[in-house]
Structure 1
Amino acid sequence: DAVLAAVGDMAVEATYSSGRYVEFNPKGVDKGNAALLLGEKLGIARDEIMAIGDNSNDIKMLEAVGLGVSVANGIPAVKAVADLVLERTNNEGAVAELLNTYVLHEGADQA
């Protein structure tokens, strides 16, 4: 709050990536915009992009892409914006769960 008050919240956005890390970026610079820009450069449509996250620094990314995914231990705000909440945490192979179940369809009957 002190940094935002000093520089103005019109210039900087603050997000958290854990209970001990705070991130400051210029207004409008976030993971969501980065994912869409990268997709554009690679010729990948928004609806074909998926992203996985767990904390407030991931919210704009999950909202921006075609499929926003929260790990099981994501904070409530992340789970609320996610299109899909996984059964596994970030420490239990959530990315493998996402890929195996929803990309490779190895566990499609479980979905």
Structure 2
Amino acid sequence: MIKLIATDCDETLLSTDKTIHPRNLKAIKKAQEMGIIVSIATGRGPYQLFDILDQIDNVKENRFSILCNGGIIIDNVTKKVVEASPIDYKKAVEVSDYCNEKNVHFEIYTDKHCYVFPNGNEVKGTYDKNIYKFVKKAKDIKDLDKEIIIKVIIKNSDLNYLMSLEEDVARICNWDVSISYSSDTFMEINRKNVNKAKALEKLCEHYGFGMENVLTVGDNYNDKEMLEEAGYSAAVQNAHLLLKDVSKYTTKATNDQGAVGEAIEKFVFNEI
């Protein structure tokens, strides 16, 4: 029996224009009325959720959001961090030095800000430009040891190029990091063994049930573990092939057509 639904945001819950399809809103509302817990599980930072939680009526006590690919969990009411798995400051420095040497755009996510180091690059992609409302441009990483560094991302609109950097980044960090990809634009670097599935396991432990009672919905490589490990899982139609391979179900709808709603209709309401 499904007791918790965890959905990714970009290219999954959110349409291309960053709105939430009515089919998704209707299904989420009905599921919550049935007593099912809904949780956001995203690569975004806490300052990048904007009004998503309000739209899905999820600003409630004992409700949490998984952010930065599982690097932090926040309380939806207080917005305080209740669990954090930060990346080592020295590793962040090593990655930033590498990026500066390669002259690629990178960003450092802390619990409070997103620091952007563009290195003169303008990156094209489908990411939400409004994300940068709470961004700080930075020239170096020197003072960031005073904040909790949750993840580092390297950004390039050529996904193949990003993937070609993976071995270098892993080696620089002594193979002690987790690397994933999102939006076909970001290489996401977290602390080793940090992912959305691990964070979901912590939520399940808090609520008193297991991953077999969870439905997950996603589209990209940073969703892989949670789709593999949940009892029920759906890749949206616009997901990468790998995600479709590891999921229990692939929706007919894309993120622009209410794919999350379709997954809930199938697994929770048994309507499909």
1:68 positional shift: 1.7
After the TM superposition, which parts of structure 1 deviate over 3 Å for at least 4 consecutive aligned residues?
A: none
Q: Is the 8 A contact 2:232 2:267 kept in 1?
A: no
Q: Is the 8 A contact 1:17 1:55 kept in 2?
A: yes
Residue from 92, 104, 110 that aligns with 2:269: 104
Q: Distance in 2 between matches of 1:58 and 1:8?
A: 24
- Structure 2 unaligned spans of 5+: 1-165
Corresponding residue of 2:221? 56
Equivalent residues in 2 for 1:1-111, closer than 5 Å: 1=166, 2-9=168-175, 11-105=176-270, 108=271, 111=272
1:45 positional shift: 2.0
Secondary structure in 1 matching 2:189: strand
Deviation per CA, 1:38-89, whole angstroms, max 9, x where unpaired?
Answer: 1111112221101001011000111111112100111000000001111111
Higher helix share: 1
1:100 positional shift: 2.6
> What root-mean-square deviation, in Å, do the aligned CA atoms of Structure 1 and Structure 2 show?
1.3
Q: Distance in 1 between matches of 2:208 and 2:250?
A: 27
Q: Is the 8 A contact 1:36 1:64 kept in 2?
A: no
**Higher Cα Rg, which structure:** 2
Q: Is the 8 A contact 1:33 1:64 kept in 2?
A: no
Secondary structure in 2 matching 1:19: coil
- Structure 1 unaligned spans of 5+: none
Q: Structure 2: which amino acid aligns with 1:103? A: V
Q: Structure 1: which amino acid aligns with 2:251? A: L
Which structure would you say has the larger RCO, counting Cα contacts within 8 Å and 6 or more residues apart? 2
Number of aligned residue pairs: give it: 106
Report which stretch shifted further, 96-105 or 40-49: 96-105
% identity of equivalent residues: 32
Q: Distance in 2 between matches of 1:57 and 1:18?
A: 10
Report which stretch shifted further, 72-81 or 34-43: 34-43
Report which stretch shifted further, 39-48 or 53-62: 39-48
Higher strand share: 2
Secondary structure in 1 matching 2:185: coil
Secondary structure in 1 matching 2:227: helix
Return the TM-score normalized by structure 1.
0.87
Q: Structure 2: which amino acid aligns with 1:86? A: T
